A and B are shown apart, each in its own frame.
Chain A
Amino acid sequence: MIDTAHVIKFDPENCVGCKLCYKACFVDVIRWDEENKRPIFKYVEDCEHCFYCQAMCKKNCIEVIPDYSSEKLLQTFDRYL
């Protein structure tokens, strides 16, 4: 799970600043902007698309769009390199 191209969409207007997405992220993709009470999706390249941030958001402000094709299977046959 390196060199991935996942995308996270965020709607700051509906966000209520509950911080659950920040807490739920176990790979430090999401940092917290204390001043504006909003998440910062700072290290998206490390996202493992667990969808916890999206699942926790009561206001449906987050959409994780995984790019599975950017994840490597690492096998030595051409189709899986």
Chain B
Amino acid sequence: MDTKYGREDLTADVLVIGGGIAGLTAAVSIKEKNPDLDVLIVEKQTCGYSGKANKGGGVLQYFDLSRVNPVEFAAYHANVIGCFLGDQELMIKYVQMNNHMFDKLVEWGANVPKREDGSYDVMPTGPMTAMIGIDLDVTLKVRRTAEKLGVRIMDKTSVTDLLTSDGKIAGAVGFSILDGKLYTFRAKAVVLATGSQNYRIGPMWGSGRGDGIAAAYRAGAEMRNTEFGNFAQLVKVRSHEEVVFGENFMYNKAGEHVTKNFRTGPEPDISGSAIAEWYNQMAANMGPIVLKREMPEGGGPLNMLWKRPYGQRFWELNNEHAHAVDGDDMEVCPMLIGEQSPVKVDHDMQTTIPGLFAIGDASYCGSAAPGAVPAPPGRNRGSGILNAVFAGIMCSDAASKTGAGETLPPVCDKQIEDCVKRLYAPLERESGCKSKDIMRVIHKAVGPMERSVYMSGHRIETAMRYVEKAKSMLGELKADDFHELLNAHEAEAAVLSAEMQFRAAAMRKESRGWFIREDYPETDNKNWLKWIIVKNKDGEMALSTEDVPWEKWPIKPPID
């Protein structure tokens, strides 16, 4: 079928959707394995500038593997972060590959600060962990490497649906956000690198819109850990700038230090318990909550520790504006970040649809590596960018082999027609609601801490009522131009993510790690060492559970 906006049919051996650090790593790694493959990256904005890697602190976790045993780190992670929902084998592989990933990033042109003696400028952060700052032009550097290797790149094109054939991946459908032109893609392998779901609440690094997750769901890919899409961060109430390490210093209006002793062990920073305490204090009319702390001697912003000229200007502008509006006001409030990353993948990063791979923020929780915590980085600082690099490398073997297959899978005209109809539907409606009308409703569901983070059955039901309302509006979603069409598809993805989040949250009747229910405060290792799986079955959302195979991993959970 043709459209009034034009149509172009393209092919590739491997189609990579998303041009952030995960997609770029996959494209480069696949080309390194097989230079003959035709690899195409499709990015809805501009490849190399998109994604999160260039919008945060640029911090990478470093392990001194001459001294750190990967199993010991997996044990620490399983006990205090992943809470035995994590795939320990994958976590161990991630640690083992750490130094290799640094070497690859440097080879691909990234600026990783070094000392005069040539060693990496590592800052120790704990008994096992350390960090290195990386300059924020990392994605641009890897884009240049990709181009040198012959990777084709297509910007300003948004993929809205995936195509399948006989249960395997066959390609994708998308449109130009500039002129609306329809693009169909046929490919032997497809790598989804489209980021997580952040619900359009926080700025900048919370930029994932979940549209790739939604496309995978519609195509029939299984999702895992969707209830862990509820990450939150303390922010200053004026600038909304995040306050790193702030939760230990929360004071109520009576001047009481309300989070003085709330950690029970060697927990990393950012804890759901502090968010719950903030809510309890506010509900008891003991707010507002302010931070009172003194910077440790010699302390300062993390991003100033290394020489990183590209990121410097970006950080300075952000800090200047935030500090100008904050002044001395230390009032804080949590803000939902989200980070649902649920596309279920195996250790090759292959989804349950053969030939479809999902990497980086699209599948971090779906890979099960981080366990009971929304990720990236999932209370494991410095693991966000590195997980994207890890997953990009991990998928490259199987994706390049699939991409080297003899023929392109056939595509069904009827399937394309349905996708195209769905794609342009918001433009065709004469009247209706706008994407922002839907997002306002979704924000009521996911935004409040007592619905997303410090949950109860009753409060989850309240959230679901908003989700149902937003769902009922989707049939009226109207867009007036291609920018609004993009927003419309992103809003639809947000509604789907919220439904997956709350339906799974209602099912998990316990508290574990970041997942906190006021009505089920205990961790239930007898009944809930399970993953919740969400799947689209003939248009209906179906939930089931899968036992965590902890018996085969080295660190065992405490079971009464």
Contacts and interface: CB of A to CB of B under 8 A. Distances in A.
Interface of A: 1-3, 22-28, 31, 42-43, 46, 48-52, 54-55, 64, 66, 68-69, 71-77, 79-80
Interface stretch (B120-128, B439-447, B504-512): B439-447
B237 A80 contact: yes
A52 B48 CA distance: 13
B374 interface: no
B325 A74 contact: no
A77 B203 contact: no
Contacts of A42: 483
Contact of A77 (B55, B282, B336): B282
B47 to A, nearest CB: 9
B204 A48 contact: yes
Contacts of A68: 238-240, 325
A1 B200 contact: yes
B237 A1 contact: no
Given A49-B321, A73-B333, A80-B333, 7 more contacts: A24-B49, A26-B51, A51-B321, A52-B314, A55-B314, A75-B333, A77-B287
Nearest to B482: A28
Contacts of A25: 45-46, 49
B268 interface: no
Given A2-B200, A48-B203, A26 B448 contact: no
A42 B334 CA distance: 31
Contacts of A3: 436, 440
Given A26-B45, A48-B203, A75 B447 contact: yes
B240 A71 contact: yes
A76 B486 contact: no
Contacts of B288: 79
A50 B55 contact: yes
A75 B448 CA distance: 5
B200 A51 contact: no
Interface in B443-465: 443-444, 447-450
B313 interface: yes
B99 interface: no
A54 B313 CA distance: 9
B246 interface: no
Contact of A76 (B200, B202, B239, B448): B448
Given A1-B201, A2-B200, A24-B46, A74 B483 contact: no
A2 B203 contact: no
Contacts of A79: 237, 287-288
B238 A26 contact: no
Interface in B199-235: 200-204, 207, 235
A79 to B, nearest CB: 7
Contacts of A76: 448, 450
Contacts of B45: 25-28
B506 to A, nearest CB: 19
A11 to B, nearest CB: 17
Contacts of A55: 313-314, 317
A80 B282 CA distance: 11
Contacts of A52: 49, 54-55, 314
A60 B314 CA distance: 13
A65 to B, nearest CB: 8
B280 interface: no
Nearest to B444: A74
A66 B321 contact: yes
A50 B204 contact: yes
Interface string B328-344: 00000111100000000
Contacts of B318: 50-51
B367 interface: no
Among A43, A68, A74, A80, find the residue whose CB has the most chain B CB atoms closer than 10 A.
A74
Contacts of A54: 317
B46 A73 contact: no
A73 B240 contact: yes
Among B288, B321, B444, find the residue whose CB has the most chain A CB atoms closer than 10 A.
B321
Contact of B203 (A28, A71, A75): A71
A63 B55 CA distance: 18
Give the 10 A-B residue pairs with the shortest CB-CB distance, closest first.
A74-B447, A51-B317, A48-B203, A55-B313, A23-B46, A76-B448, A50-B204, A26-B45, A2-B436, A55-B314
A81 B45 CA distance: 32
A48 B201 CA distance: 10
18 contacts: A23-B49, A24-B49, A26-B207, A27-B45, A28-B45, A46-B483, A48-B204, A50-B204, A64-B317, A66-B321, A72-B201, A72-B443, A74-B447, A75-B282, A75-B449, A76-B448, A77-B287, A79-B237
B164 interface: no
B203 A1 contact: yes
